[in-house]
């Protein structure tokens, strides 16, 4: 019997969730098929599609909406879902502080990165990401990808990529430097990525240091209506490492 199996609250979860929790330490992510039922997902999708499609037409801020949960009860319901929050709390061993939601209409290509450089905590590692499919995701739509086990690598923070002898805050290519450092690490370790092709209602939870991103979109017409949610643990220092600013809830 592993330590996690004897942890308080483990037996409260379904066998499916328990099985995913058992592989968390090794993989750094877990997939929960059809975690949310069709009714809740359909209501959430229908509530955001008008706003998302309008942003797509305007080409404003890369077709995403930040923190829609603050004025959308369907999104807030998913964001603060009791069963989901209980799983997140079990993983981190602390109460959860819901932080941010991002709604997408279509995918935008994003290089491999760790959330830890944006959603940083002290001590490190007390944040989580969650991906909720609001529709079936089709291959070629700019799929979410991740590197299993990469959460166990060292955290790439400012000191690892900031320009020597120059304030990193004034470096115009800060993100490029960071992405190159991550790419070099992936090549050095010979990491192989997996893609997430979920069905509507599927959920992916990932460790804050798991390297992940979005593939280039092969079919520009395909949508990828989805909800990305970020959470901190309570009782830890929360800040943005790259900008050296506190997290604002």
Q: Is the peptide bond before 123 cis (omega within 30 degrees of 0)?
A: yes
This prediction has a pTM of: 0.93
Mean pLDDT of all residues belonging to the chain: 92
- Taken in order of first residue, the domains within the chain and their CATH numbers are 21-234 (2.60.120.620)
pLDDT confidence tier of residue 62, bands split at 50, 70 and 90: low
Instruction: Quote the pLDDT of residue 68.
Output: 93
Distance CA 186, CA 97 (A): 31
For residue 196, the surrounding DSSP H or E stretch is: strand 194-196
Instruction: Quote the pLDDT of residue 165.
Output: 46
* Inter-CA distances, 66 with 31, 35, 102, 111, 204, Å: 24, 23, 5, 20, 19
Q: What is the 8-class DSSP label of residue 198?
A: P
Distance CA 15, CA 30 (A): 13
Distance CA 230, CA 249 (A): 11
Among residues 117, 140, 148, 127, the alpha carbon closest in space to that of 214 is found at 140
Sheet holding 120-122, edge to edge: 120-122, 237-240, 245-246
Handedness of CA 108, 112, 116, 117 (dihedral sign): negative
* Model confidence pLDDT, tens digit, residues 134-184: 999 999 999 999 999 999 999 999 888 875 544 545 455 788 889 999 999
* Tokens encoding 19: 């099985």
Distance CA 224, CA 227 (A): 10
């Amino acid at each position: 019997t592993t330590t996690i199996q004897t942890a308080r609250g483990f037996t409260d979860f379904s066998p499916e969730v328990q099985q995913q929790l058992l592989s968390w330490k090794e993989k750094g992510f877990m997939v929960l098929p059809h975690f949310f039922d069709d009714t809740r997902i359909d209501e959430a999708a229908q509530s955001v599609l008008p706003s998302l499609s309008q942003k797509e037409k305007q080409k404003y801020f890369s077709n995403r909406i930040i923190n829609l949960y603050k004025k959308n009860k369907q999104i807030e319901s998913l964001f603060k879902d009791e069963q989901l929050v209980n799983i997140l709390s079990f993983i981190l061993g602390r109460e959860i502080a819901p932080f941010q939601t991002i709604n997408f209409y279509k995918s935008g290509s994003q290089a491999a990165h760790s959330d830890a450089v944006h959603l940083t905590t002290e001590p490190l590692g007390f944040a989580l990401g969650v991906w909720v499919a609001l529709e079936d995701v089709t291959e070629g739509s700019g799929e979410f990808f991740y590197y299993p086990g990469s959460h166990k690598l060292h955290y790439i923070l400012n000191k690892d990529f900031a320009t020597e002898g120059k304030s990193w805050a004034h470096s115009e290519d800060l993100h490029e430097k960071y992405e190159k450092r991550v790419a070099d690490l992936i090549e050095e370790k010979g990491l192989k990525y997996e893609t997430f092709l979920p069905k509507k209602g599927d959920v992916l939870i990932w460790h804050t240091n798991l390297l992940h991103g979005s593939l280039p979109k092969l079919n520009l017409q395909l949508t990828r209506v989805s909800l990305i949610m970020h959470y901190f643990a309570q009782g830890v220092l929360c800040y943005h490492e790259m900008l050296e600013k506190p997290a604002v809830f």
